[in-house]
Structure 1
Amino acid sequence: MPALPASPCTNACRIDPASGFCVGCRRSLDEIANWSRLDAPARLAVLAALRDRQAASPRPTE
């Protein structure tokens, strides 16, 4: 069985009220809560969405 993609968590956990996404990893609360139950294809789909979110709105530098 292939390894599951690792969590994209960056330990900078805070939900941005404007976007609804974590400022660290860019996942939604549902994506964060369900991550451990997702299979490999579903995790890869979330990771692809994160790349799109990052391209659309880069993280602010703190």
Structure 2
Amino acid sequence: MSPDTGWCEGCQRTIDEITRWSRTTDDDRRDILAAVAERRERSGAAGRAVETRA
């Protein structure tokens, strides 16, 4: 989790979004994914591969 944004550095979801994902509706999942797309766009991460650390 990024201390600056509060988002997972891999998927850009918040802790709340991650914890409720498995028990949420398809509509809510679409809303979460739309929010993630917006976050990636704002951060410049859209289309960029996720870095892995060894």
TM-score range, shorter chain: 0.7 to 0.9
Q: Which structure would you say has the larger RCO, counting Cα contacts within 8 Å and 6 or more residues apart?
A: 1
Given the alignment of the two structures, is residue 50 of structure 1 paired with residue 36 of structure 2, yes or no? yes
1:58 CA displacement = 2.8
Distance across 2 between alignment mates of 1:38 and 1:54: 22
Q: Superposed, which structure 2 residues align to 1:1-62 within 5 Å?
A: 15-59=1-45, 62=51
Distance across 1 between alignment mates of 2:44 and 2:11: 11
Aligned-residue RMSD, C-alpha: 1.7
Structure 1 length-normalised TM: 0.70
More helix by share: 2
Tell me how many residue pairs correspond in the alignment.
48
Percent of aligned pairs with the same residue? 40
Please list every run of 5 or more consecutive structure 2 residues that lacks an aligned counterpart in the other structure: none
